[in-house]
A and B are shown apart, each in its own frame.
Chain A
Amino acid sequence: MPVIGIPTGELKSRLGRELTSEQLLEVLGSVGCDVDGYALLRRVQCTRCSAVFELAGKEEPPVVCDRCQSDLRASTSTSTSTSASASTSASTSALRELPPLEVVRMELLAVRPDMFDPGGLARALRGILEVETGPATYEILEPLHTVRVDPSVRDERSFRPHIACAVIESITLDDDRIKILMKLQENLHWALGRDRKHASIGVYDLDSFASTELEYTTEPPDYAFRPLGGATSSTLANILSEHPKGRAYAHLLAGFDRYPILRTRDGRVLSMPPVINSEETKVHQGTRGLFIDVTGPSARVVDRALNILATSLLELDLGARLRGVKFVAAVERVTPDLTVQRVKLSVEKTGRLLGLDLDTASVEMLLRKMRHGISTSSDAASLEVLVPAYRNDILHERDLMEDVAIAYGYDRIPRTLVPTMTVGRELPIEARSNRAREVLVGLGFLEVMSLVLESPESSAQLLGLPDHPESVLLENPISVDQTQLRTSLLPGLLETFARNRHHALPQSIFEVSDVTFLESTTETGAREERHVSLAQIAPKVGFAEIRAWGEALVRELGWPLALRPTQGAEAPFLTPGRGAWVVAPDGSIAGILGEVAPTTLDRLGLGNPVVVAEFALPGADGGPDATALRSFSPLR
């Protein structure tokens, strides 16, 4: 999860109540914020476009301004320590140092994008603190702008059919607020937009275009405009192949021969969603009004993103005014649409689920603390809850029950136990695995546990066997030595010896774990089998010892030991004449034991004799036939 820094001053000034630093952390925790603590951020500003960069700890300023793409490598104007000479920095200084900023650092709460910024977060906290409860209301002024949606963005081969827009007037934007706006936009792109895939937001200087008639349409790749940070205009094809943002988001437009464009009817381009805005319409210090658009494939996400951004901006600047934008398309509508979501909530079910004795009035009070409204038509048994249009996480009345619990306070909820009596029951295979551990620990063996991924090369090489045809292979391994699930525990034990050459002899180790094979009869096409494997390295150890230990193990688990010598190349990692299959009563192979061949020891760089044994424990599936030994397939 990304970590954000909420400016402490901006947040506290909006709470309507004095809080100490500790109280603030406590109330943030009580609504589910995962707070790291307070931090002082160094801030530098791009002198060309005024973008502000916040630097945590020893973080270095960026090399390229991500807003205007200018090169920032020249030293900062209040040159801190670098060796760049003062004479050059005076003329080319690309960064200006700003006073540091105290922030509350917390993990971004992905389910609550309406709390990503100081404005929206304060709105929620005022409710919890009971400074201001019930719905926040926002006035939407009559639209002045119209947007014509060209049918081409809606046809089957389009990719961002939905668009919603808003206008913010009379907003005062200083560098800090521009920074907050940029961060909110970026975080909404992450949380709601899934990196612009589901929603992409554009914010423009309202005064940079005169026409109030806009259109959302598509253009071919040779259409051109001047992208943000660009000195001249570029074709859409060039933007996608050369502009940093173009390259970053070209994959979202892959496979299309026309690209989305938002522009005025008289030809001024605002943006190429979801890639880049135009240079001419960019927001700057002193911008008095904003035009906002959100585009994407899902109408719900597009609307929510716009609602969150627009209402958070109104919370940020109480003097700002929100104006609607009218769409002229198949269906006419005005956005933003702040219509509340009506959800029925049963008071009785809420109390029962939470284990609390709640009446209608108290549930209503708790919901109002979470800034929900309650319809006047509510009856005693159920409430009609009016969920604010900036909430994106209410899919079901259950989500409102959680809001009730949070408002009530988790620390005040009594802790009880379910009164039903149940009996504990362990899986037979786990019980049997523990018996095996007990026996081997009693014989002085030390348990090891290893990671269960391996490469076919390493295990096959180690055992001198071809790749196991029944092993489970990964599609997207992290590394070349972890590409499949193991089919035997023996390679891990031998590698353990190789890693512990410095350790005193004898070394006696064992492992109990599952191995995995293909199995066409199961739902997933694979199955696990519980194996137990033991090994000793010592100056003097041989077949007699491993046979005795193996026999002790199976005897204690209740089976007779029957052996059959391994033949020829069946088990090339064992010394010929000194290896044996363990044969189950039904004649199937249930394991193997013997002396490891000197060629294998040599390959591992082991300077002492090694004996090994591996057994399949019966009943890995916990089935009724616990005494029948499963077939032992890894080494056949």
Chain B
Amino acid sequence: MSERAFSPEQVAVLRALEPQRPQRVPELATRLSLDQAKVAAAAMSLTQDGLVSLREEPYREWSLRASREDAAEAVILERRIVRALAAHEGRGSLAEVAMWSGLDAKEVGQALRVLALRGWARKEGAALVLEPTASSGDPMHDPDESAITLLAANSGGRMTEDELALAARGAQRELDLDRARTLLGPKNAWIEIREKTHRWLSLTEEGLATRAAGVESVREVSQLTPEMLATGEWRSIRFKPYDVQLATEPVYPGKRHPLQRVIEDVRRAFLDMGFAEHASPWVESGFWDFDALFQPQDHPAREMQDTFYVARPRRATLPCDEALVDRVRSTHENGGATGSLGWGTPWDRAKAEQNVLRTHTTAATIRALRDDPKGPRKVFSIGRVFRRETIDFKHLPIFFQVDGIILDERASFSSLLGTLGAFYERMGFSKYYFRPDFFPYTEPSVGVYIWYEERKDWIEMGGAGIFRPEVTEPLGCTAPVLAWGLGLDRLAMLKYGRGDIRDLYWSELDWLQGAPSCP
């Protein structure tokens, strides 16, 4: 027995074929009572293995485009023109011919070339003139007309050229197939001619030897089923090999939003560094958003131009700790007990009561300081902040920010720089530098610049500093408070290579689905 395993179709084909006696696939399939496509597929794989030889023979198959009934009555275009001319003394203008024959002028025009080819009519100036040789009556004798008639008589309406020639002889007709093809042309209304191939199969010597050694069939399947496992049928089954290079439809997992992933990275970094998470409301009083941070009441950032004010609910109630409000007021006006000069202008309680959409998450860290001004503690807050920016590729009125603070007797500017370094290294930026910067509520202040390799440039990545005594002392904080803030949208844009900040919120599913999980 051969060591080869064959499918049942392959076994059947091997058994049915003989050397030197070619058989065609359709006949073979009929004999084997199998589907032609299965026989062809089995034969092809046997041919590749060298067990079967294949000879290909091209042929033409003619088939009717129209129904057999219509074809039986067929009168080709040119014949209708000849009949019309014959009925009108063999002469007429194109328009007349069209009218007589019931054709339209365009069809008559298109027929001129074939009329001349058939030797039935010719153009003389504007007139079409019947040739003396043309006959209008039956039998219709041109070869294409004969072919249509023969096909109409065939039960399938379809014949090979050999069969057509045979049928013509039986009907005692002349049939010049080449001329018929020329006259029909490719786009005729009656007959479609297709180039086809006969496949002749025969057994090779090797095939004969293989068959002599004995062949056994093994079923080939593409899908394992529970039944196969239950019955043990899997033992005699061969699995159709896959083309492993073949592409499959892509599938995508459910995913977190890229910006949310960056937010989570930053959260993790702070939690790992021992920071406690805090939150504060989006609708915030001017008091906590600005005044508690020693932002002067006439600071440009507080103007309607830059900050969203809230019409409903318009006013906040200030903290019930009236002494705190008073300390903030006096610090603004004259420095209060902080040793500062203050801003030297009257402080307006009504301005502090105006509700705004918070302009920074520093509102959250300053509230956390109020809740526990003694420490030591580390606090961070991540959230949306609101600025009255006109929307463009770099600016949105809403974005995410993170703020962190360290309240500690042993904190210093040196430990601020060290903590910032640790944080940015944790976020994957190993190259950074610090530069003096200026913020209203920190002193000293520092800007952090990170090296962004893809752009070969330094990029400002956040601001930091030590809260001014005018900020911390009214809250009852005596220890230094290190503070820093960072916009997260920009970080996400850098990480995901997006040039337009609007993309982050546009919810384009193609991008969200395709954005890499490990950028």
The interface of chain A, by Cβ under 8 A from chain B, is 29-32, 34, 109-112, 194, 198, 298, 300, 352-356, 395-399, 401-402, 405-406, 410-411, 413-427, 429-430, 434, 437, 440-453, 471-478, 482, 485, 492, 496, 499-500, 503, 507-509, 514, 516, 518, 522-528, 622
Contacts and interface: CB of A to CB of B under 8 A. Distances in A.
B398 A353 contact: no
A152 B281 CA distance: 48
Contact of A503 (B315, B355, B390, B509): B509
Nearest to B274: A422
Contacts of B156: none
Given A398-B466, A427-B278, A427-B279, 10 more contacts: A34-B447, A353-B413, A396-B339, A396-B341, A421-B274, A447-B254, A447-B512, A492-B507, A524-B285, A528-B281
B274 A423 contact: yes
A413 B338 CA distance: 27
Contacts of A441: 253-256
B415 interface: yes
B299 to A, nearest CB: 9
A508 B254 contact: yes
B283 A526 contact: yes
Interface in B270-288: 270-279, 281-285
Contacts of A353: 412-413, 466, 480
B254 A355 contact: no
B505 A451 contact: yes
Contacts of A509: 507, 509
6 contacts: A354-B413, A405-B413, A415-B418, A416-B418, A453-B397, A528-B281
B445 A402 contact: yes
B242 interface: no
A424 B276 contact: yes
B355 A524 contact: yes
B278 A109 contact: no
B271 A424 contact: yes
Most chain B beta-carbon contacts within 10 A, residue among A423, A476, A499, A514:
A476
A356 B414 contact: yes
Interface in B295-309: 298, 300, 304, 308-309
B433 interface: yes
Contacts of A410: 417, 434-436, 446
A422 to B, nearest CB: 4
A430 B438 contact: no
Interface stretch (B2-10, B51-59, B191-199, B376-384): B376-384
Among B311, B396, B482, find the residue whose CB has the most chain A CB atoms closer than 10 A.
Answer: B311
Interface in B253-270: 253-257, 259-260, 264, 267, 270
Nearest to B317: A523
B412 to A, nearest CB: 3
A87 to B, nearest CB: 44
B507 A516 contact: no
Given A32-B438, A424-B276, A485-B282, A418 B413 contact: no
Contacts of B388: 476, 478
B357 A474 contact: yes
Interface stretch (B74-82, B108-116, B200-208, B403-411): B403-411
Contacts of B22: none
Contacts of B138: none
B408 A396 contact: no
Instruction: Give the most central of B256, B480, B513: most A CB within 10 Å.
Output: B256
Interface band, chain B: 35 or more
Contacts of B447: 34
A570 B390 CA distance: 37
Contacts of A451: 396-398, 505
Q: When A and B form their complex, which 7 residue pairs have the shortest distance between CB atoms, in order from nearest?
A: A355-B414, A525-B313, A355-B412, A32-B436, A402-B444, A415-B418, A424-B271
Interface in B331-349: 335, 338-342, 344-345
Among B389, B396, B437: residue with most chain A CB under 10 A: B437
Given A406-B436, A500-B508, A528-B281, A417 B415 contact: yes
A391 to B, nearest CB: 12
A615 B397 CA distance: 27
Nearest to B312: A473
B335 to A, nearest CB: 7
B444 A405 contact: yes
A416 B414 contact: yes
A405 B68 CA distance: 103
A633 to B, nearest CB: 16
B470 interface: yes
Given A194-B300, A427-B277, A430-B277, A445 B316 contact: no
B181 to A, nearest CB: 48
**Among B270, B276, B443, B468, which residue has the most Cβ atoms of chain A within 10 A?**
B443
B182 interface: no
Contact of A422 (B255, B277, B376, B390): B376
Given A441-B253, A449-B259, A523 B415 contact: no
Nearest to B417: A415
B419 interface: yes
Contacts of B506: 499
B435 A419 contact: no
A524 B284 contact: yes
A509 B509 CA distance: 9
B469 interface: yes
B504 A449 contact: yes
Given A476-B304, A525-B316, A424 B273 contact: yes
Nearest to A405: B444
Contacts of A500: 507-510
A112 B267 CA distance: 36
B505 A449 contact: yes
B66 interface: no
B279 A523 contact: no
Contact of B311 (A298, A414, A442, A474): A474
Given A395-B341, A402-B443, A413 B260 contact: no
B445 A415 contact: no
B288 to A, nearest CB: 8
B413 A443 contact: no
Contacts of B510: 500, 503
Nearest to B411: A418
Given A430-B267, A441-B255, A516-B282, A475 B314 contact: yes
B355 A499 contact: no
B390 A516 contact: no
B446 to A, nearest CB: 6
A53 B300 CA distance: 27
A286 to B, nearest CB: 38
A500 B419 CA distance: 43
B310 interface: yes
B499 interface: no
Given A396-B468, A500-B508, A477 B443 contact: no
Contact of A473 (B274, B298, B311): B311
B397 A524 contact: no
Given A424-B274, A447-B255, A413 B414 contact: yes
Contacts of B389: 478
B26 interface: no
Contacts of B50: none
Nearest to B305: A476
A398 B466 CA distance: 10
Contacts of A523: 285, 316-319
B463 to A, nearest CB: 12
B500 to A, nearest CB: 14
Contacts of B357: 474, 485
Contacts of B412: 352-355, 416
B90 interface: no
A474 B309 contact: yes
A426 B443 CA distance: 29
Contact of B433 (A354, A411, A440, A496): A411
B257 A453 contact: no
Interface in B55-113: none
A418 B415 contact: yes
